[in-house]
Structure 1
Amino acid sequence: MAFGKGKSLTSAANGQKDRDVDFPKGPEDTVSALRWSPVANYLAAASWDGKVYIYDATNSTSSATIKGVAAITVGAPVLDCDFSKDGTIAIGAAADRKIYLMDLNSSQTMTLEAHTSPVRSVRFVTIPATNAPVIASGSWDKTVRYWDMRQPQPIAALQLPERVYAMDAAGPLLAAGTADNHLHLIDLHANPLHIWKSVKSPLSPKISSVSVSADGSRWAIGGIEGRAAAQVANEKDKSLSNLTFKCHREASTSAKNQTDVYAVNAVCYSPAHKDVLATAGSDGTYSVWDVVARHRLRSFPKVSGPVTALSFSRDGMALAYAVGYDWSKGYQHSKADAEKKIVLHCFDEALKK
């Protein structure tokens, strides 16, 4: 079915010979974020258990060949993670208001006293006016702050109208979703201290996740009511019409002619193709979509619990996803023995040629 606003995407037939490989046992609590290195097959996993786990998945033929190579011990829930552009530094954003860094070559660590409220998101960004790697951090203190790792204080800060609930950056674009259900776009190359554009979210009532395409030309968001949106940053770009679509929904098993709706916990553009977007949900499924052709490229069977995070590898040929409880049903449904794992899904062919 072709779709317009609010419609379901059509689904391509499956039958692929893809394979899944479990990562070695690691996080002891829910994984909040996954990020691949931009230069190697290293994966960072931020967890509510207070650590950022680093894995070497260069040889991913089995769980035994994927190696845990490092862990940043934080001691407070870690809400996000990222790698530097050269892959040598891993960082984590923590609920204790700090940013934690590790040099993967030397194992040396450093802490930035970052914000006055929990740090929700971190990204290494490129700002041409600087001559050093820059970290952008978004917080519940309603700011995005920029950091030069050689200095203990932020080099600049941008005030936002509300708390940062989700953030991503790629190319010239940083996109921050805030508690007032707006997405704020910042042109890092032109003026990182100015909100270039604020967009009222086409979803309601809350932005749960944000992704920016590798070239910075597109953004996507997920919401808590089983919907996602994909749009262009610049309206002059006609490559993608503004789009919202239903996902992570299923026929109710308890009420006739009703649909159960689940939160979209994560959205992620493929670094290899800006038309390809993955979504993950509280329903325990994840899907891959072609946002321009407007259909689902791949759908996958339900796993043992909510999918809380996902991230494409740098070549787009693999997708890491995390399974764990996401608190969408409250504390009464939390079980100590609920499965917590990270899985590598390897595609048998390129999703978009």
Structure 2
Amino acid sequence: MNKWKSTTATSAAKGQQDKEVEFPKGPEDTISALRWSPVSNHLAAASWDGRVYIYDATNTTSTDSIKGVAAITIGAPALDCDFSKDGTLAIGAAADKKIHVMDLNSSQTMTIEAHSAPVRAVRFVNVPSANGPIIASGSWDKTVRYWDMRQPQPIGTLQLPERVYAMDADGPLLAAATADNQLQLVNLHGNPLQVSRSVKSPLNHQTASVSVCPGGTRWAIGGIDGRAAAQVADEKDKSLDSLQFKCHREPSTSKKNHTDVYAVNAVCFSPAHKDVLATAGSDGTYSIWDVRTRSRLRSFPKVGAPVTAASFARDGMALAYATGYDWAKGYQHNTAGVERKIVVRCFDDALKK
């Protein structure tokens, strides 16, 4: 395993120069996913309370300046969310096996009877052979399905060997992490109905999160074992060969010479720079890394509860993160004292020059 340059990490004090603003109270349960619009400062938040919340965060001077503008009511835990490429549609993936879509201009909603098991992940994808916006949904029924909203049936189904635990897409690349500890890579500009390459996860334990960088040239994953990894989609390119690193770990307070390991609940590339990756974990911290130089750009102090989701704004100058209980310690630790909130950190300067 290549060593990570922890000596170049920026101190938490550096991060304190940035501005951090909490969103107004909204979700009544843990936030499972956050996604920024690709064309505006709108944020979608999928929650276990059965809704996808849409916020306008154009003005982040204070909590009162951030406005809730819509909510997709589902009635079952919302597990993921996304915006269309033009920002006019918001979608939610849910445990009710359906995809829920809202037109943000008219507030009209529609439901797609999508899968035979909960829908774990959903993305608007670029499929050049299709005439119109296409939704890709990954499910615990071991399929990825493609949807043209003008049709009630999927326009295509990709059968996978196991359940989809996490999924992301950008440009030609769709990456789906499956329960057999494999990463299924799909060329959306080639044959979306065929896995172009199946990669054994470089992590030893279950993958919890996946991110594809802008343009689809790289992917990154986070695992339940306090590790993350990043690779180049083109297997001939060795620039990130064997890149994996430990994160979201700390010395044990109860066992001498032991390390407490926490799940990496979220990994996300910055839309503004393919080298910049954020990780967020059950330890209540998040960090920002440069995968090309293999160094940490920023680290931040603990936020008081597990960080369950994170997402970079379209210009890379802000990172939204959510705190709440992530079930890592079982139901008995899901107490009222675990604070559920969404926070945006607006960076004082660019993460990459």
Q: Does TM, scored on the shorter chain, surpass 0.5?
A: yes
8 A contact 2:31–2:324 mirrored in 1: yes
Q: Which residue of 2 aligns with 1:268?
A: 268
Report how far residue 247 of structure 1 moved.
Answer: 0.1
Q: Quote the RMSD (CA, aligned, Å).
A: 1.1
Q: Deviations over 1:65-89 (max 9, x none)?
A: 0000000000000000000000000
Mapping of 1:51-200 within 5 angstroms?
Answer: 51-200=51-200
Q: Deviations over 1:125-158 (max 9, x none)?
A: 0100011000000000000000001111111100
Q: Which residue of 2 aligns with 1:333?
A: 333
Distance 1:56 1:205 in 2: 37
Distance 1:50 1:186 in 2: 30
Q: Deviations over 1:192-243 (max 9, x none)?
A: 0110000000102201000000110000000001000000010223443330
Tell me which amino acid in the other structure corresponds to 2:10: A
8 A contact 1:228–1:264 mirrored in 2: yes
Residue 344 (structure 1) aligned with residue 348 (structure 2): no
Mapping of 1:239-254 within 5 angstroms?
Answer: 239-254=239-254
Gaps of 5+ in 1: none
8 A contact 1:12–1:295 mirrored in 2: no
Residue 236 (structure 1) aligned with residue 216 (structure 2): no
Q: Which residue of 2 aligns with 1:12?
A: 10
Distance 1:68 1:53 in 2: 7
Q: Which residue of 1 aligns with 2:315?
A: 315
Q: Which residue of 1 aligns with 2:278?
A: 278
What is the SS of the residue equivalent to 2:241? Answer: coil
8 A contact 2:97–2:114 mirrored in 1: yes
Distance change in 2, residues 1:348/1:309 (3 Å): same
Tell me which amino acid in the other structure corresponds to 1:237: D
Report how far residue 8 of structure 1 moved.
Answer: 6.9
What is the SS of the residue equivalent to 1:15? Answer: helix
Tell me which amino acid in the other structure corresponds to 1:15: K
**Normalising by the residue count of structure 2, what TM-score does the alignment of the two structures yield?**
0.97
Distance change in 2, residues 1:337/1:253 (3 Å): closer
8 A contact 1:8–1:246 mirrored in 2: no
Distance 2:120 2:96 in 1: 10
8 A contact 2:4–2:295 mirrored in 1: no
Gaps of 5+ in 2: none
Distance 1:146 1:283 in 2: 35
Distance 1:110 1:242 in 2: 43
**Normalising by the residue count of structure 1, what TM-score does the alignment of the two structures yield?**
0.97
Distance 1:240 1:50 in 2: 39
Report how far residue 112 of structure 1 moved.
Answer: 0.0
Q: Deviations over 1:90-146 (max 9, x none)?
A: 000000000000000000000000000000000000100011000000000000000
Q: Which residue of 2 aligns with 1:287?
A: 287
8 A contact 1:208–1:265 mirrored in 2: yes
Q: Which residue of 2 aligns with 1:46?
A: 46
Residue 212 (structure 1) aligned with residue 212 (structure 2): yes
Q: How many residues are matched?
A: 350
Distance 2:179 2:238 in 1: 29
8 A contact 2:4–2:294 mirrored in 1: no
Report how far residue 20 of structure 1 moved.
Answer: 0.5
Report how far residue 12 of structure 1 moved.
Answer: 2.5
8 A contact 2:321–2:343 mirrored in 1: yes
Q: Which residue of 2 aligns with 1:298?
A: 298
Deviates more, 1:10-19 or 1:202-211: 10-19
Q: Which residue of 2 aligns with 1:227?
A: 227
